[in-house]
Copies of this chain bind each other. A is one copy, B any other.
Amino acid sequence: MATPSLFLNKVFKNKAKQQLKYALMLLVVLGQFLAGQTRVAASEMGEIADEQSTMLVDKRTFTVDNFTTFGGKTIKQVKVGWEAYGKLSEEKDNVILITHYFSGTSHAAGKYSVNDATPGYWDGIIGPGKAIDTNTFYVVSVDTLANLNAYDEHVITTGPASINPDTGKPYGLTFPVVTIRDFVNVQKALLESLGIAKLHAVVGPSMGSMQAIDWASAYPDWVPRMISVIGSAESDAWTISALEHWASPIKLDTHFNEGNYYNSTPPTSGLVASLMLITQNALTPEFFNMQQSKLASNAQNDSALEAITNDPTIVKWLRQRAEVRSTKMDANHLLYLVRACQLFMAGHQDSLALGLSNIKAKTLFIPSSSDLLLMPYLSQDAHQQLKSLGRDTHYIELDGSLGHLEGVSNISAQATAIKTFLEKD
């Protein structure tokens, strides 16, 4: 009589098998809290690297003057940070570009110092002898425009929090709307400045997957291989709406003041509420329920019964985590990233079909089967459309129960598939 919900069974099976992983994960997170560490943006998405890197990396700065946006506006000076791992070949033909996720940065692998608690978010697959082998490839990663972590000492970005050279004041909402294409075009300008004219591959998770597939459509002669992890080929109505809920709390905050908060109190409560929702959207019931079981006894919600203004225990945990993350972030930047993702369509043409028809790359789509944010149907759709167009396209899933986060924290589970794909002619 019962019709089992196979998806949810999948999320909730193998609990025993997952226990060790979660115990480790929570230990790392709690350790960071106790140590008073505030730089948990990367750890949120990448704390479980299978092999900790000892590769040391530097942040560099790239500048473009008079950058024209996809929307036709000019940004007088664009400055972004970037990192590279491995060595550029003499022929400059061994470049893999890594494009980062929404709350991520160009710190994809390695450490800035041996004392860093955690390496870059995809350190599990980027490094000497790893799936993206820095003994073979020159791996480049670039901070996006309006990067969320505007106040992270290791992030260099241009966005609403930057000074507008025309006024000497922060842009705020006068900063032009930027798109995934603009992130791509800044990366292309950087690569060209290095004398590079073609990539070996472009690879990215989540918002990074949007950049990767837009690269493949916009500059097909540059991109022979593209890997989209926990991604999509366009933002459908569901995703556009889901993203709007991330923006709402910031716009409602008393201190938002239409984005003009740089000389006063920033809209931190709104930013925190947004991060709380983002964290939930990126995870799964199983993760939250494991967390709760670590937090408290049965009496955990007593204070929430006493007064409407008291938070339930799990909400306190979620809020505290978001508060720590928020200190390096800018609220306006979050709004601009939301909009970039809302406007995303691979190729940025009149239809997705047109955009996909431009792609020449071999493609590999790797969604996470438990993802509740960018669900696997999005990757399936893109894969199927490319297949219909006769392209060489592949599809595999990350099979864990961390939801969207699988694509960052557990990417090593598909290391072999990634390595094999990158070796394809």
Q: Which of A179, A305, A380 has the most CB of B within 10 A?
A: A305
**Chain A residues touching B, range:** 35 or more
Interface locus among A4-12, A19-27, A134-142, A201-209:
A4-12
A394 touches B252 (CB 8 A): no
A288 touching B241 in the complex, CB below 8 Å, given contacts A252-B252, A254-B252, A372-B372: yes
Q: Contacts A241-B314, A241-B315; is A248 near B236 (CB within 8 Å)?
A: no
- Closest residue on chain B to residue A367 by CB atoms: B5
List of B residues within 8 angstroms of A380 by Cβ: 5, 8
Instruction: Assess the A5–B377 pair: CB atoms within 8 A.
Output: yes
**Which B residues are CB-close (under 8 A) to A177?**
304-308
Contact of A252 among B179, B249, B298 (CB under 8 A): B249
* A186-B414 Cα distance, complex, nearest whole Å: 55
Expressed in whole angstroms, the Cα–Cα distance for A263 and B284 within the complex equals 41
Interface membership of A34, Cβ < 8 A: no
Closest to A349 in B: B298
Q: Is the CB of A264 closer than 8 A to any CB of chain B?
A: no
A396 contacts the other chain (Cβ, under 8 Å)? Answer: yes
User: Is B245 within 8 A of A276, CB to CB?
Assistant: yes
Tell me the A261-295 residues at the B interface (CB within 8 Å). Answer: 269-270, 273, 276-277, 280, 284-285, 288-289, 291-292
A288 contacts B376, C-beta separation under 8 Å: no
Decide yes or no: A376 and B305 within 8 Å by CB, A236-B288, A245-B277, A252-B269 being known contacts: no
**Contact yes or no, B270 A240, CB < 8 A:** no
**A219-275 with Cβ < 8 A to chain B:** 236-238, 240-242, 244-245, 248-249, 252-254, 269-270, 273
Q: Are A5 and B289 in touch, CB under 8 angstroms? A: no
Q: Does A342 contact B (CB under 8 A)?
A: yes
Bits for A328-343, please: 1 = Cβ < 8 Å to B, else 0. Answer: 0000000110010011
A175 vs B159: C-alpha distance when bound (angstroms): 44
CA–CA, A6 and B375, complex, Å: 12
Number of copies: 2
Q: How far is the CB of A278 from chain B (nearest CB, A)?
A: 10
**Which residues of the other chain, B, contact A284 by a CB distance below 8 angstroms?**
238
Contact between A306 and B237, CB atoms less than 8 A apart:
no
The answer, yes or no, to whether A395 is at the interface (CB within 8 Å) is yes
Q: A168-183: which residues lie under 8 A (CB-CB) from chain B?
A: 173, 175, 177, 179
CA distance A421 to B306 in the complex (A): 39
A292: B residues at CB distance < 8 A:
236-237
Smallest CB separation, A366 vs chain B (Å): 11
Cα distance A393–B146 in the bound complex, in angstroms: 54
- Tell me the residues in window 42-96 of chain A with beta carbons closer than 8 Å to chain B beta carbons: 70-71
Interchain CA distance A1-B397 in the complex, whole Å = 9
A323 within 8 A of B: no
Which residues of chain B have C-beta atoms less than 8 A from A253's C-beta?
252
Does A409 belong to the interface (CB within 8 Å)?
A: no
Q: Does A399 contact B (CB under 8 A)?
A: yes
**A291 vs chain B, min Cβ distance (A):** 6
A2 within 8 A of B: yes
Q: Does A318 contact B (CB under 8 A)?
A: yes
Bound form: Cα–Cα A277–B71 in Å: 29
A115, CB-defined interface residue at 8 Å: no
Q: Which residues of A contact B (CB under 8 A)?
A: 1-3, 5-12, 70-71, 173, 175, 177, 179, 236-238, 240-242, 244-245, 248-249, 252-254, 269-270, 273, 276-277, 280, 284-285, 288-289, 291-292, 298-299, 301, 304-309, 311-312, 314-315, 318, 335-336, 339, 342-343, 350-351, 367, 369, 372, 375-377, 380, 394-397, 399
The 4 closest A-B pairs by CB, nearest first: A7-B7, A237-B292, A6-B6, A238-B285
